[in-house]
Structure 1
Amino acid sequence: MLSRSLRPVTARVSNLATNPIRSAVFPGHFSIRTIAIATDVTTSIPEPATTPSTSEAKAPRVLPYFIGRNNFGAIPAYHREKRGGNLKLTILKRAEGDLMALKQDLKAALQLSDDEVSINSKTRHIVVDGHKRLQVLNFVKTMGF
């Protein structure tokens, strides 16, 4: 039950006993709070923008992979430490599609060697040696995710 301060101001109380169908289901006197929503019908529909010619328009780059967001809406790149803190890793999660293409693009963007970027085939995570979370986030944002 919402506290009194969080209840909507424009609510009206309807009685179930006045409805003959519901009074058979819910005998007795009940009150249910319903919300009346007013919509503005006078809003205008925006005009479509003029389409530029095909020479001016750039087709969006279609990538063979996709990087999703976590439950908080952030890019899922994390720092991990293993072997007592001597091994520092950056893990990129929630990648879908062609992970080899993502690995190659990430390797080229961060100027890393082939040994420094790997794919965990079970969890489908991209693992980068070193704490490079900010560089990975920058790469992901520039790719449009």
Structure 2
Amino acid sequence: MLQTLLRTTAPARRFAFQPAACLRTLTTAASEPPSQTQTPATTSAAKPATKAPYLVGRTPSNNLPVYQLTKRGGNYKLTVVKKVDGDKQALRHDMAQEFGMDIEDVRVKTVTGHLELKGFLAPKVTEFLEKKGF
């Protein structure tokens, strides 16, 4: 009897879970068309730099998702970049060019969408991504 009384008088717990809305947009061209008063020669010189065709998201703690892993008993060192959206191959080529690596040393995992770089390069990769504006 006491249990039924407690059940009826106890407030029901309700959890208000609202997923975070995250809108991601990728732009590859200038957002404003050139004005009519400019000549074609000045338009190409004044054209702003295009944004990268890829986007690297942040973790819930607002850090870049760059991790270092060891495999094969500690002999195989990897740097992994997660949360990559857009053109992963373009990011692969940019990173290989930036760090002076062969293109084979930077891989795109097709199932997970992660990038793997040979070696412990987390500080360099973090600096590169921050310089790009991520």
TM-score in terms of structure 1 length = 0.60
2:60 is paired with a residue whose SS is: coil
Which ranges in structure 2 are unaligned for 5 or more consecutive residues? Answer: 1-37
Q: Aligned residue for 1:131?
A: 120
Q: Aligned residue for 1:59?
A: 48
CA shift, 1:61, in A, is 2.4
Note the aligned Cα RMSD (angstroms).
1.8
Which ranges in structure 1 are unaligned for 5 or more consecutive residues? Answer: 1-52
Distance 1:81 1:71, change over 3 A: same
**1:114 counterpart = 2:103:** yes
2:107 is paired with a residue whose SS is: strand
Q: Aligned residue for 1:32?
A: none
Q: Aligned residue for 2:63?
A: 74
Residue type of the partner of 2:94?
D
CA distance in 2, matches of 1:94, 1:60: 24
Distance 1:142 1:58, change over 3 A: farther
Aligned residues: 93
CA shift, 1:135, in A, is 0.8
**1:85 counterpart = 2:74:** yes
CA shift, 1:114, in A, is 1.5
After TM superposition, the runs of 4+ consecutive aligned structure 1 residues lying more than 3 A away are 53-58
Residue type of the partner of 2:113?
R
CA distance in 2, matches of 1:125, 1:96: 10
Q: Aligned residue for 2:90?
A: 101
Residue type of the partner of 2:97?
A
CA distance in 2, matches of 1:76, 1:57: 34
- % identical equivalent positions: 33
Residue type of the partner of 1:118?
R
Q: Deviation string for 1:26-66 (max 9, x for gaps)? A: xxxxxxxxxxxxxxxxxxxxxxxxxxx98796624221100
1:141 is paired with a residue whose SS is: helix
